[in-house]
A and B are shown apart, each in its own frame.
Chain A
Amino acid sequence: MVEKIALIKEQVLEAIENASSLNIIAGGSKEFLGRKITGTPLEMGRYQGIINYEPSELFITVKAGTLLGEIIQVLAERGQMLAFEPPQFTEKTTVGGVVATGLSGPRRAYTGSVRDYVLGIHCINGLGQDLSFGGQVMKNVAGYDLSRVMTGSYGTLGVILDVTFKVMPIPEFELTCFCELSRKDALTKMYELSCKPFPVSASCYDGEKLYLRISGYRDTVKTILTGIGFEEYLNGDQFWRNLRDFRSSFFNTDKNIWRLSLPVTAKPEIGDDQYLIDWGGAQYWIKSDRPANEFFKMAEELGGNATLFKGTGHNENIFQPLQEDMMIIQQGLKRAFDPHSVLNPGKMYAAI
């Protein structure tokens, strides 16, 4: 293990020496995501294994190249899960990729995001230094919270070696139900439910039907289903898995797929494009060939952000453009971790 870390360090130092850059890769399941970059591949896929798993302490520490599927299975054997329900676009999805992209699935709006469950990160920064931030305990305010800053940074701040997640128990019982509603009524229903102590763990509106997943004790969930007037959907697990992993027929398209992350009460102008709404109204998926700037402008006006998630145009701006003063700060942070710009430069924005 130590030899392997030394090897990663060496590659970083070599890149500094040669004034070149690295392209950190593992399972490649999210290759379509982010800006296209060049750089010497830094293969993390074989850096695998569970370092420590303590079900009664609610944490698991794993090496970055470990397959997400393996972690999910190991946790499930002890009745636990990653509560942010990360996408597993292919079976090669790794833990490092999950943390680097910060992507969360349908449960996110109700239980929190990847960074909410990251307790600690061990990494190599752009100077080849071996650093650990956070730890294995869930309350820890010593030093700046750099493990959460690294989450979702697309490998531009450090090479993630291992990660500690807080894990949660799998709910005793879950069921999915649906109801045909107009978009307006579906959104209203989602707000209403989220304002009550009502155990929704996922919600999705596909333009015709509102789907809800209810999680909790079996009796409570059954009682709720009776009271809410929705019809039970029998293939619920698969429905949410397909949404999470982009396997729903909606995602089978030649058009660009845009992701809009918005305040729940925002009302985006969708026009004739096909869409899906999830996260209780906080996340929109839109299939469209409309120009990128229309989405960036609309998202900004609505107080959110847009991402060209999948499609063409991936050498341009694919994440929401940042205001100038914000970009200066982001560039400063990049320099603080990676002054020679060797780690995935340009993966998120051309300037970092």
Chain B
Amino acid sequence: MQFDDLTKLLPAEAILLSEESRRVYECDALSAHRVIPGCVVLPDTIKQVQDVLAYCHSNDIPVVARGAGTGLSGGAMPHAEGVLLNLAKFDQIISLDPLQKIARVQPGVRNLAISDAARPHGLYYAPDPSSQIACTIGGNVAENSGGVHCLKYGLTVHNILQIKVVTITGNLITIGSHALDSPGYDLLALFTGSEGMLGVIVEVTVKLLPIPPFNKVLLAAFDNIENAGEGVAGIIANGIIPAGLEMMDKAGIRAVEGFVHAGYPVDAEAILLCELDGTEDEVNNGLNQVKNLLSGYGATQVRIAKDEAESKLFWAGRKAAFPAVGRISPDYYCMDGTIPRKHLAKVLTGINELSIKHKLAVVNVFHAGDGNLHPLILYDVAKPGELERAERFGSEILELCIEMGGTITGEHGVGVEKIREMCIQFSEDELEQFHAVKAVFDNKGLLNPGKAVPTLNRCAEFGAMHIHKGKDKFPELERF
């Protein structure tokens, strides 16, 4: 058995070989894709991670790194003949320096735990993916996670300074520094969002920001989506960068209102939530300006939260959107395309047409400020064919996003889920450039195989997908 020698590298309790213990790890939050890993290891020192990777490299064993497993694109889906490298034991905040405004943390530290530790110093860690109570910082770096506040505060890539990485050959390297820049090519940008394809992150230094002194939320209702979209453009064109700017369609409003009673107007076609932060005066002045603007764009009602409690209530609805949809449908499939915002109405119309075509309902929630759409496709896995229809529906939404000049994934990553749409978004030469970069770090292709970047053969297998802009993208490849 090829995993036997791992016992020489790790204590027995850090290796899971029995089927029932391995089955726990068969999927991440994209539960439609499941594979039982060949073996699971839970190292608790960097040395052990180095030893495991060096061993896997020598023996050509695939390795999939995993944090909390909250990813939505199957990035942590295991390999049947491979090692699943669970970093859960790396859960310590190594140091927090309030003067430098940085925290050095192990990869298994939860996103929210960093802000909890920073709060006594008046600081916090800005990126706030919706899974922040559970997701780990290592996973956040691997996926370049966003959140509802990234229009103003950026993604993970904007909020980290340094990472320590173990390469597939077992070397420990430091990327970035505690200074604001580093010499040579920007490997920190390269590793952020690289989905575990280039190395295993074993330490992260994050930037911390001062907690804004005040924030407040405004809720606006519209009787058509176009007006809501124009309202968003109007806010931004007027020089206001909200801390959060969210939109929800009618189906979303109704699902949420039935669940959390946030006071959303159930007869509206769309609602906008706009959060501003800053000093109390700035926020109040800004919200009045937003209120006037949105009324000018045809909002049927605009409500500025009376107090903190009402701000929280307005947010509670948006934050409960996914569980609310879970309540009205046995299963849902969350998409993650990003589009230039001006095409919002066109894209939502297109999604509604696809909904009729595939006979599946859809709920749209939308990070309106940055153009990131999360259509939730409702289906029932127990009904034959529905999952397949949901996946086809999702794939066609992503194609629509590409057509509009957008991208197939704003923050969830490609993983296994969007591997085929990568063949549409990128040309053969671009995919080859990605593979050339991958080979610099992992020429045997052992790290997270089959994820993030499709092989050209894989794209060829997708057949019909290749007729892109009227021409076959891979004419030299054999068809299967």
With A142-B425, A144-B194 as contacts: A149 and B407 at CB distance below 8 Å: no
Q: Nearest residue in B to A78 (C-beta to C-beta)? A: B237
Cα distance, A193 to B205, chains bound together (Å): 21
Q: A57-B340, A305-B182, A326-B173 are in contact. Are A194 and B101 (CB under 8 A)?
A: yes
Q: How far is the CA of A157 from the CA of B155 in the complex (A)?
A: 25
CB contact under 8 A between A152 and B186, given known A56-B236, A220-B279, A305-B179:
yes
Q: Smallest CB–CB gap between A226 and chain B, Å? A: 14
The reply to whether A143 and B430 contact each other, CB–CB distance below 8 Å, is: yes
List of A residues within 8 angstroms of B155 by Cβ = 139
Q: CB within 8 Å of B: which of A54-86? A: 54-58, 78-80
Among B97, B281, B429, contact of A129 (Cβ-Cβ < 8 Å): B429
Interface assignment of B370: CB less than 8 Å from any CB of chain A: yes
The stretch from B37-45, B256-264, B408-416 touching chain A is B408-416
Interface presence of B462 (CB below 8 A): no
Instruction: Flag if A141 contacts B239 (CB, 8 Å).
Output: no
Verify A143–B97 contact, CB threshold 8 A: no
B76 shortest CB reach to chain A, Å: 15
B11: Cβ under 8 A from any A Cβ: no
Chain A residues with CB under 8 Å of B307's CB are none
Closest-CB distance, B407 to chain A (whole angstroms): 4
Cβ of A197: which chain B residues have Cβ within 8 Å of it?
A: 210-213, 278-279
B405 at the interface (CB under 8 A from A): yes
CB pair B372 A112 closer than 8 Å: no
Chain A: which residue is nearest B338 at the CB level? A137
Whether, in the assembled complex, A148 has its beta carbon less than 8 Å from a beta carbon of chain B, the answer is yes
Q: Residue A132 at the B interface, CB < 8 A?
A: yes
Across the interface, do A137 and B430 meet the contact criterion of CB distance under 8 Å? no
> Which of B185, B193, B234, B338 is most buried by chain A, counting CB atoms within 10 A of its CB?
B185
Q: Which residue of B lies closest to A192 (CB)?
A: B99
Quick one: given A195-B123, A325-B171, are A141 and B409 in contact (CB under 8 Å)?
yes
Does B189 sit at the interface, judged by CB under 8 A? yes
Pick the contact of B440 from A112, A151, A216, A336 — CB < 8 Å? A336
Contacts of A251 in B (CB 8 A): none
Q: Mark A323-334, 1 if CB is under 8 A from B, else 0.
A: 001110110110
- A145 to B177: give the CA distance in the assembly, Å: 19
In the complex, the answer to whether A330 meets B434 with C-beta atoms within 8 Å is: no
B interface size (C-beta, 8 A): 88
Interface status of B87 (Cβ within 8 A of chain A) = no
In Å, the complex CA distance between A56 and B440 comes to 39
Query: Total contacts A to B, CB within 8 angstroms?
Result: 239
**B234 proximity list for chain A (CB < 8 A):** 56
> Which of B158, B179, B410 is within 8 Å of A141, CB to CB?
B410
Q: Which residues of B contact A262 (CB under 8 A)?
A: 179
A349 to B180, CA, bound (A): 20
Residue A35 lies at the interface, judged by CB distance under 8 Å to chain B: no
State A112–B180 Cα separation when bound (angstroms).
9
Is B190 interfacial (CB 8 A cutoff)? yes
**Restricting to A146-174, which residues have a CB under 8 Å from any CB of B?**
146, 148-149, 151-153, 157, 168-170, 172
Closest Cβ of chain A to B279, distance in Å, is: 6
| Interface-central residue, B146, B192, B237, B453, by most chain A CB under 10 Å | B237
Contact A198:B210 (CB < 8 A) given known A143-B430, A220-B281, A305-B182: yes
A348 to chain B: closest residue by CB: B184
Residues A149 and B185 in contact, CB atoms below 8 Å apart: yes
Give CA–CA (A102, B439) in the complex, Å.
26
Provide the residues of chain A in CB contact with B50, threshold 8 Å. none
Contact of B99 with A137 in the complex, beta carbons under 8 Å = no
B438: chain A residues within 8 A (beta carbon): 144
A303 contacts B179, CB within 8 Å? yes
Q: B431-456, CB under 8 A of A: which get 1 and which 0?
A: 00110111111000000000011000
Closest to B277 in A: A197
* Cβ-defined contact, A263 with B434, below 8 A: no
Interface membership of chain B positions 342-380, coded 1 if the CB is closer than 8 angstroms to chain A and 0 otherwise: 100000000000000000000000010011100000000
Other-chain residue from B180, B213, B239 in contact with A113 (beta carbon distance below 8 A):
B180
**B342→A54 contact, CB < 8 A:** yes
- By beta carbon, the residue of chain A nearest B99 is A191
A195 and B433 within 8 A (CB):
no
When chains A and B are docked, how far (Å) is the Cα of A109 from the Cα of B179? 10
Do B123 and A137 touch across chains, with their CB atoms under 8 A apart? Answer: no
Closest chain-A Cβ to B390's Cβ sits at a distance in Å of 21
- 28 contacting pairs across A/B (C-beta < 8 A): A56-B234, A56-B237, A56-B342, A57-B371, A102-B181, A109-B180, A137-B340, A139-B150, A141-B407, A141-B413, A142-B408, A142-B414, A145-B157, A145-B193, A146-B190, A168-B241, A169-B239, A195-B101, A195-B121, A196-B210, A197-B212, A220-B282, A261-B181, A264-B99, A305-B179, A319-B184, A330-B184, A335-B440
Given contact pairs A78-B237, A112-B154, A152-B185, a sample of 15 additional A-B residue pairs in the complex whose CB atoms are under 8 Å apart? A132-B430, A135-B407, A138-B338, A141-B193, A142-B426, A144-B197, A144-B437, A145-B189, A149-B190, A151-B186, A195-B210, A217-B278, A261-B181, A263-B179, A304-B178
Chain A interface residues (CB < 8 Å from chain B): 54-58, 78-80, 102, 108-109, 112-113, 115-116, 125, 129-133, 135-146, 148-149, 151-153, 157, 168-170, 172, 191, 194-198, 216-217, 219-220, 261-266, 279, 282-283, 303-305, 307, 319-320, 322, 325-327, 329-330, 332-333, 335-337, 348-349
The 4 closest A-B pairs by CB, nearest first: A148-B189, A169-B239, A332-B440, A139-B410
